[in-house]
Amino acid sequence: MKQMLLDLMRMSRICRMVLATCLGSFILVIFYFQSMFQPVMRRNPFAAEGCCRKGSRNALQELYNPTQAEFSAAAVLHQARRDQVTDTCRAHSASSRKRQVLTPSDLKHLVVDEEHELIYCYVPKVACTNWKRVMMVLSGRGKYSDPMEILSNEAHVPSNLKTLNQYSIPDINHRLKSYLKFLFVREPFERLVSAYRNKFTLRYNASFHKRYGTKIVRRYRKNATTEALQSGADVKFQEFAEYLVDPGTQREAPLNEHWQTVYSLCHPCHIHYDLVGKYETLEEDANYVLKLAGVGDSLRFPSYAKSTRTTDQMAAMFFNNISSQQQGQLYQLYKLDFLMFNYSIPSYLKLQ
């Protein structure tokens, strides 16, 4: 009987130890999920140990504690851009932070370069093809040397770049704290019109015509022809606008990444971006990132012809063809992008 009691007591201790271990592990997981995604808008980026490569300064150090005069001047500009994002997130916290915690699946747009300790959130229609090419060169360990030798379709193959959602939770947390995180933005309506022109007016985008065009024509065009219903190849901008502001569109699924808002793709109110580049100063800002990473002498951001770019004047032409009500609804849809990245309300809008 005594031996049986001793055995029972020993088993009880083991059970308590197992329970304590499980509880501790559970608390640790919760800690990682909550701590790694909380916004840290004004922090010392060097507080975490192990942020830098041995024997060298990384891009994050050069940004916040520049050693060169040209970096010091640019640092002031980018601090102002960070402050603009911070202030907007605080002023619109109810709409900009609908969720308190992100999950790894929200990080699929964040491309990681381990070699230079960079994280880039790509936004379609903001030079993301060329940025993906550059990231392939940076992270390819010598496999690529010239970004423009990489075909555009190759740059968009998911397996050619590693994204943050592929890491474990501790590794995600470490990289968010210690790598330089950047994104590039664009005037929201120029980006929107650029997406429309590319996806709905070019013949080679038949997949978009089938997936979205046929749906838009079916819903918003009266007396649509059989050909239009089958091909979806002639969507008008007015119909596209009606589709975007339709409450049912958002209920069905998130917007396609080409016309989704930047704050929904990159979560700037949850993730502290160290650098916000702009399409309007693309080459200057992009090459600044490369200089911070220590590769500015050997790698330049690709330049390309500006003749095909969607401009403010082009956007005005498209918006003049839609009602003032639709203009106002579209502005409300992209309002946070306008405010966060300091874009003024376009003069051509007729807001009620």
- pLDDT tens figures, 248-267: 998 998 999 999 999 999 99
Q: DSSP string covering 218-247, please?
A: HHH-TT--HHHHHH-----HHHHHHHHH-H
Asked if residue 36 lies in contact with residue 106, where contact means CB atoms within 8 angstroms, the answer is no
pLDDT value at position 258? Answer: 97
Q: Which two tokens stand for residue 230?
A: 């089958």
- Categorize the per-residue pLDDT at 13 as very low, low, confident or very high, splitting at 50, 70 and 90: low
Q: Which pLDDT tens digit goes with each residue over 119-171?
A: 999 999 999 999 999 999 999 988 999 999 999 999 999 999 999 999 999 99
pLDDT value at position 310? Answer: 87
CA distances in angstroms from 236 to 60, 201, 221, listed in the order given:
45, 9, 9
Amino acid found at 205 = N
Classify residue 104 as exposed, middle or buried by CB count within 10 Å of its CB (0-12, 13-18, 19+). Answer: middle
Average pLDDT, the chain: 85
pLDDT value at position 102? Answer: 87
Average pLDDT over residues 330-346: 97
Strands 162-163, 110-113: pairing is antiparallel
- Categorize the per-residue pLDDT at 48 as very low, low, confident or very high, splitting at 50, 70 and 90: very low
The sign of the dihedral angle between the CA atoms of 307, 309, 311, 314 is positive
Asked if residue 263 lies in contact with residue 96, where contact means CB atoms within 8 angstroms, the answer is yes
- Order across the sheet with 275-278: list the strands: 162-163, 110-113, 118-121, 180-185, 275-278
What values do phi and psi take at 78, rounded to 5?
Answer: -75, -25
pLDDT value at position 35? Answer: 40
Q: Cα–Cα distance between 121 and 245 in angstroms, integer?
A: 25
105-130 residues labelled b (16+ CB within 10 A) or e (exposed): ebbbbbbbbeebbbbbbbbbbbbbbb
Average pLDDT over residues 189-197: 97
pLDDT value at position 278? Answer: 98
pLDDT value at position 201? Answer: 93
pLDDT of residue 337 exceeding 60: yes
Q: DSSP string covering 57-78, please?
A: --HHHHHHS-SSHHHHHHHHHH
Average pLDDT over residues 25-47: 40
Q: Which two tokens stand for residue 335?
A: 């309002």
Q: Which two tokens stand for residue 236?
A: 């008008």
pTM for this one? 0.83
Q: Cα–Cα distance between 171 and 106 in angstroms, integer?
A: 15
pLDDT of residue 220 exceeding 90: yes
pLDDT of residue 8 exceeding 50: no
Asked if residue 63 lies in contact with residue 274, where contact means CB atoms within 8 angstroms, the answer is yes
pLDDT value at position 57? Answer: 81
Please enumerate in sequence order all residues whose Cβ is within 8 A of that of 33, keeping only pairs 6 or more positions apart, or say none. Answer: 101, 103, 169
pLDDT value at position 85? Answer: 97
The residue among 61 and 273 whose pLDDT is bigger is: 273
Asked if residue 106 lies in contact with residue 95, where contact means CB atoms within 8 angstroms, the answer is no
Asked if residue 147 lies in contact with residue 133, where contact means CB atoms within 8 angstroms, the answer is yes
Reported as half-sphere exposure (CB side, CA atoms, 13 A), residue 297 has a value of 1
Q: Which two tokens stand for residue 63?
A: 């940004």
3 state SS for 75-87: HHHHHHHHHHHHH
Asked if residue 2 lies in contact with residue 139, where contact means CB atoms within 8 angstroms, the answer is no
